Amino acid sequence: MRAAVVREFGGPEAVRIAEVAVPEPGTRQVRIKVAAAAVNPVDAGVRAGVFGGAGKTLGLGWDVAGTVDAVGEPTAWRAGDPVVALVPGLAEPLGAHAEYVVVAADAVAAAPASVDAVHAATLPLNGLTAVQALDLLDLAPGASLLVTGAAGAVGGFAVQLAAHRGIEVVGHAREGDEEAVRALGAARFTAGAVEPRSVDAVLDAAVLGAPALESVRDGGAFVAVRDGVLPRAERGVRTENVWVRADGARLAELVRLVDEGVLTLRVAESFALEDAAKAHARLAGGGLRGRLVLVP
């Protein structure tokens, strides 16, 4: 089968299409025939060597939408089931940017019925990151939350999920994104500094760090979405990173919210798998509102 891989670190040109063996599912695993797979900043990090792995062939792709092709018993999934899943891209030699991918059965959820596979492929990584970050913040309805990077993929899901929980969201993004951020459910919008100690918590999707922490009240909470990037804790503010993990049951909840119209799935552009390097170049160009998606 064909797969997008990295054998030497570098820019978008380091992404190669290779012929590799079709993976076989083991016990409690499923093989998915990939219909679509999103391209995320973490893929650019793998390509650039941020996570190590020199001298190895590294697969790319954390998000997958497709159909179950084969199963390793015991599992309730059956061939032909339309599904979505989070693929642990840093733990496997082959990721979702391929014609087939194998994942743990408990990482899988039935695909949304209301959208196509290209849109469905944008949900797992960013949706799970957002909901797991909100779980860490543990805010009650009526609490106030600053979401930085509110127009981006993780930030956009966080705005929608928090608003759905009855949380008052302050969306932080560029001036030109105000209409889009408010449409996602933000009660307030800002493109500049936020008043110090004015919100109960921050979900820092834009990795602003210390300036965003200043907006949290004493004893509030701060969660960053990039591993290991945390400002120094102060004033009793609890600070944590969200370490996204595969969770098929939680992903199924997000799928339900998609089908209920609570969550919007945004696609900026789709590319053929053969054009994975072009997709990486487009990602590097920035300014995207929605995910890039590869289609085998």
Domain ranges for the chain, please list them. 2-123+265-295, 126-241
For the purposes of burial, counting CB atoms within 10 Å of the CB of 139, is it exposed (0-12), middle (13-18) or buried (19 or more)? buried
The separation between CA 275 and the C-alpha centre of its own chain, rounded to angstroms, equals 21
Q: Quote the pLDDT of residue 26.
A: 95
CA–CA dist 234, 217 (Å, integer): 10
Beta bridge mates, 84: 65, 109
Instruction: Give Dmax (Cα) for the chain.
Output: 55
Tokens of 268: 């900026």
Q: Quote the pLDDT of residue 193.
A: 84
Q: Which three-class secondary structure string do you get for the chain?
A: CEEEEECCCCCHHHEEEEECCCCCCCCCEEEEEEEEEEECHHHHHHHHCCCCCCCCCEECCCEEEEEEEEEECCCCCCCCCEEEEECCCCCCCCCCCECEEEEEHHHEEECCCCCCHHHHCCCHHHHHHHHHHHHHHCCCCCCEEEEECCCCHHHHHHHHHHHHCCCEEEEECCHHHHHHHHHHCCCEEECCCCCCCCEEEEEECCCCCHHHHCCEEEEEEEEECCCCCCCCCCCCCEEEECCCCCCHHHHHHHHHHHHCCCCCCCEEEEEEHHHHHHHHHHHHHCCCCCEEEEEC
Q: Decide if 113 contacts 18 (C-beta within 8 A).
A: no
For the purposes of burial, counting CB atoms within 10 Å of the CB of 151, is it exposed (0-12), middle (13-18) or buried (19 or more)? buried
pLDDT in tens, the chain (296 residues): 999 999 999 999 999 999 999 999 999 999 999 999 999 999 999 999 988 888 889 999 999 999 999 999 999 999 999 999 999 877 668 899 999 999 999 999 999 999 999 999 999 999 999 999 999 999 999 999 999 999 999 999 999 999 999 999 999 999 999 999 999 999 999 998 889 999 999 999 999 999 999 999 999 999 999 766 788 889 999 999 999 999 999 999 999 999 999 999 999 999 999 999 999 999 999 888 899 999 99
* Predicted structure pTM score: 0.95
State which CATH number among 3.40.718.10, 3.30.2290.10, 1.20.1090.10, 3.40.50.720 fits the domain covering 126-241.
3.40.50.720
Q: Quote the pLDDT of residue 171.
A: 97
Class of domain 2-123+265-295 (CATH, top level): alpha beta
Q: Quote the pLDDT of residue 228.
A: 61
Closest CA relative to residue 97, chosen from 42, 30, 154, 53: 42
Q: Decide if 291 contacts 61 (C-beta within 8 A).
A: no
